[in-house]
Structure 1
Amino acid sequence: MSQHANTSQQTDTSTASEVVIEAESLSLNLGGKVLLDDFSLKIKSGQLTALLGPNGAGKSTLLKVLCGEVEAEGKVNFFGYPRHDWPTSQLARHLGVLPQHSSLTFAFTAQEVVELGALPLELPNAQAQQIAHEKMAMVGVTNLAPRLYPTLSGGEKQRVHFARVLTQLSQAGEQCVLMLDEPTSALDLAHQHNALIVAKQMAQAGAAVIIVIHDLNLAAQYADRLVIINHGKIQADGPPEQALTAETIESVYGWPVCITQHPVDGYPIVLAAAA
């Protein structure tokens, strides 16, 4: 990045509702399949945005393109600057990504895995350990600290990596982007809700949070904005009560549903109907 860009990033911090990620005209075709089709999207700070859609719709692909794991035609800006202009070490302080799966096989303890998140921060060991401990408590994995990572269950590994990503973002300040790819896929009921509560708290603190999720009802309960994707295009975009309509869901997922409201909190609930 230019010196001017560096100075601007240090002084221009994000505020609620500011656009922090801007994707414009993204297109990606792999193996003859269109994954993103002239796709444009703006992500704002202070919001939890859920990406929804059927298998193969382009949700995880979009996340990978946004964070730079996969290249596509089009442009992606972070905080007003092209993602490619960000030095990797600097972007790692502001962008945390929790993938669906991890290939980590080393016999690290859970505590050591979480502490890996502090590597981009260049902190003293004692401070890194303290931050890791705090984030492990946040996601409820403190009891797993001495356990060897390969011995953990799938859900336990998922939560440990969530703590690692939170550790990585511990000094992001207001320029914070958290991307979670199916963070509840291996979790039981209580841990699903706890993970989404933590994600919601991050958004309320000013982060731009993006979650790929399949559970429409969990998305409706916690997300501020739902972006429903199919065939690489946006089919609906808005707050849950606007985006979740029976017509849209049946069109996208190919299954009839009924929409009702939660009796206490009022968010929409999707009930599958008979085919």
Structure 2
Amino acid sequence: MFLLPVGLMIIAFFAYPIIFLILLGFMEWNGIQPMSFVGLDNFRAIFSNAVFRTSVQNNLVWALSAAFLQIPLALVLALILTRAPRGWRFFRTVYFLPNVISLVALAMMWSALYNPEFGLINHALEALGAGHLARNWLGEIDTALPALIFSYQIYVGYFMVIILAGTLSIPQEFYEAALMDGANLLQQEIYITLPAIRGIIVTAGTLAVAFALRQFETTFLMTAGGPANRTPVMGLFMYRRMAGLQYGRAAATGVLLIILGVVVLAGLQRIFGKSDAVADSNQ
């Protein structure tokens, strides 16, 4: 009975919208006139769209960057801060701070940093004698997507805090015993810390990939899918279909995004192994 209120909310605000989304994917609807059944036409139309295929590739790149760049960075930061170096509380706060700042404000900040004429990045390269490396970071095909992904790493503090909570819960007696046995710092991390927080790392990785797959705001605000449609993501593609009153195709895109998310997360869990952070902590 205690679970019933939340269960009803899940049905009303998750299950029903998902079912409606799937059904709408087989319809043609502009939001005004009655819906008409078109079968798989919406899916055929978006699969034949080159921008959609690029969006799928970019979503996969975002997901892989979260799994193999953001989480390793968060893990390294958490392991360092666990050792309580001088000023560790200050750095913990600084690394987490971007997560409480408006995403729009941070996107505008990065756009200014990447500005080809007035941006701090190009000025810093010139000051270091590497002016030949200066670029129009968001305006060139080769650098636009890497620049977006690099700017997104500023949110690494969110996953750092999750992992840090796990590392701080490990009994210090384990490290003291390992130290008495002659284990160095690296060996302690490999044979004590990493196995103890394996479930937490998998959980943080799952969250990071899920956030990356639904990426929209950063791309929309900083490049709008440009240049030459090289940086769009499925969320942006879906938004443009909705703006064009093509709700059926937008819904079909949403269905495919859900399927992509399930496949990617299942693949990562197969690679790294399924794990339950709560169960692991009780062992």
- Say whether the fold is shared (TM-score over 0.5): no
Higher relative contact order (CA 8 A, sep 6+): 2
TM-score range, shorter chain: under 0.3
Which of the pair is proportionally richer in strand? 1
The structure with more radius of gyration = 2
